Structure 1
Amino acid sequence: MHSLFTIIVVVQVLSALAIIGLVLLQHGKGADMGAAFGSGASGSLFGATGSSNFLSKSTGLAAAIFFSATLALAYLGNKGAIATGGVMENLPVTSAPAPAAAGAATSNPAAAAVAPAPAAGNAAQIPK
């Protein structure tokens, strides 16, 4: 099981590198305009128009291999982990203390020693 996972990861990485290389080898749509004015694109490795079909089909094949490997990794990664509910249902239950009521007296001496906020009429005491 572990070796199958490793083989699929290697196939996925190699297909990703192949996609990167094939996309970088292809020329953009604007390159045809330069070839029409004698730019020298006809002296390329695949000829004037031979690279577009070969490279685009090779890129499509590498992309199909990449997506197939990704789906296989997703299947193998989730095998045996059939979810019966949401992700929050598997959390451990902890008991938190209930919050104190707003007007009730508190048993915490540090909270009782807090001074009240100044009233709105004391705005003249704020330094400017």
Structure 2
Amino acid sequence: METAIWILHLLSAITVIVLVLLQHGKGADMGAAFGSGSSGSLFGASGSANFLSRTTGVLAAVFFMTSLGLTYLSSHKIEDGGVMDKAVPVEPAKPVEAAPEVPADGGASKATEIPE
């Protein structure tokens, strides 16, 4: 389900970008008044502006709805926890062997003796 929403989200985002780039600015109406040939287009003189703006509005609404849906899914996702939450089996510690006893003088008496 989440993958389908992601695909719809990306397609609507790309399509909104393309439709916004295709639309005429407010200054383009002045060129149409002086006969730039827009009246002979597929949608007529003002039909393309209405069609493109309505389609852009619908796809923008789809984009916002998919954004909200993805936000809802990501905030309610059940995760099995992170690395710190996973239990690691702990082996019991091995007993430490006692260190050999060191004489009170630190073993200096044996080191200073010269063998004969």
TM-score interval, normalised by the smaller of the two chains: 0.5 to 0.7
| Identical residues among aligned pairs (%) | 62
With over 3 angstroms needed to count, the CA separation of the structure-2 counterparts of 1:80 and 1:25, relative to structure 1, is closer
Measured against aligned partners, the alpha-carbon deviations of 1:73-115 in whole angstroms (never above 9, x if no partner) come to: 000001057xxxxxxxxxxxxxxxxxxxxxxxxxxxxxxxxxx
From 25, 35, 39, the equivalent of 2:36 is 39
Query: Does residue 66 of structure 1 match 2:51?
Result: no
**Count of residues paired in the alignment:** 78
Unaligned runs of 5+ in 1: 82-128
For the aligned residues, what is the CA RMSD? 1.4
SS of the residue corresponding to residue 32 of structure 1 reads: helix
**Relative CO higher for 1 or 2, CA cutoff 8 Å, sep ≥ 6?**
2
Larger Rg over CA atoms: 2
Partner of 1:19: 16
SS of the residue corresponding to residue 60 of structure 2 reads: helix
TM-score (norm 1): 0.57
Query: Does residue 49 of structure 1 match 2:49?
Result: no
